[in-house]
Amino acid sequence: YSPTPSPIPTIPTIHDIGYLQKPDEFNKKDFYQLKNWTYLSIKQAKHIVAVSEFTKNEIIKEYKISPQKISVIPNGITKFKKHTKTESAKIMHKFKITKPYFLSVGTLKPNKNYPFLIKAFSVFLSRQRANALSSQLVISGKKGWLFDEILKTVVDLKLQDSVIFTNYVTEKERNILFQNATATVLPSLYEGFGIPAIESQSFDTPVIVSDIPSYREILGNSGIYIDPNNEKSLIKALSNIKNNHSQNYKRYLWTQSATKLLHLFDNLK
C-alpha cells in the first residue's frame, strides 16, 4: 500500500478486489484494512497497474477510475529446470506422498473452494478404488482465514490418509510438487490472476481450473475448465486428464513484466 499522504507520485499494483465482491469471506479486521488502504492507494495514485484485464475492469467499475489511468501488466513466473528423480523422491517421502496425486496450491481460505475440491475428490477416489486404483490429493498452502471447514471436510469424509496438507513449502518443494503431479487443480471461485496455473504449465503439468474470467484470460484454450459449483464437472475432469503440452506459460515470464513496467515508468516521467 502507498503511504498516505505520499510525498512522491505513486503507482500501486492491484492484484484483485475480492474483498469487495465476497466480503463475507474475510474477517472484519482484514476486510476494513483492505477496503480502506486500497481505496486510499487508488485515489492518490498517479497511475495504477492491474495484473489482468479482469482486475482492471473491476477497478473501473468499483472506483470509477478512467481506463486511461490503468495499465495491465500481468504477473509472471520464473522458468525453472526440472529436478532429478532423487530430489523428487526426497520430497515425496517428506510429505508421505506414495501414490499418483493431484495438486492444489494456495492459501487455505474460502475463495480457493477447497471443500468443493475435497468432496469431488472423495467421489472420484471411490470410483478409482472400485477399479483397484488410487490417488492422493495434495493441498499446498499455509492456513489463512476461515480454514476450519476445509479441515472438517477431510475428517467428515474420512480422507485423512488421502488428502495431504503440506502447509508452507519452499520454492524447490513447490516446484517438485508441480513437476510430479498428475494435474494441478484450481477450483477457485474468484481470482485476479492465478499464478499457480501458469507455474503448473511451465512444468508440463495439466491444469484444471474454474471457468471464471481471470482464468479464461490467462489460459485461453490451454486449461481444462470446470464449473466450480458442480462436483460432477470436476469429477469428470479428474477422470479424463489430457496433457496438451501447452507453451502458454511463455507469455508470462517476469522478465517480460519487468520490461513493461520500466517502459511505463519512462512514459510517466
Question: Cβ distance 201 to 218 under 8 Å?
Answer: no
How does pLDDT run across 85-104, given as a tens digit for each residue? Answer: 999 999 999 999 999 999 99
Would you say residue 26 has pLDDT above 90?
no
Q: Using 50, 70 and 90 to split pLDDT, how confident is the model at 115? A: very high
Domain boundaries in the chain?
Answer: 13-75+254-268, 85-250
pLDDT of amino acid 167? 95
Please, which residues bridge with residue 13 across strands?
A: 49
Q: pTM for the whole thing?
A: 0.94
Q: Please give the C-alpha separations between residue 264 and each of 39, 42, 47, 192, in angstroms, as whole numbers.
A: 22, 17, 9, 21
Q: Sign of dihedral through CA atoms 80, 172, 219, 215?
A: negative
pLDDT of amino acid 8? 92
**CA dist., res. 47 & res. 9, Å (int):** 9
pLDDT of amino acid 4? 84
Evaluate whether the domain defined by 85-250 bears CATH number 3.40.50.300.
no
**CA dist., res. 138 & res. 144, Å (int):** 17
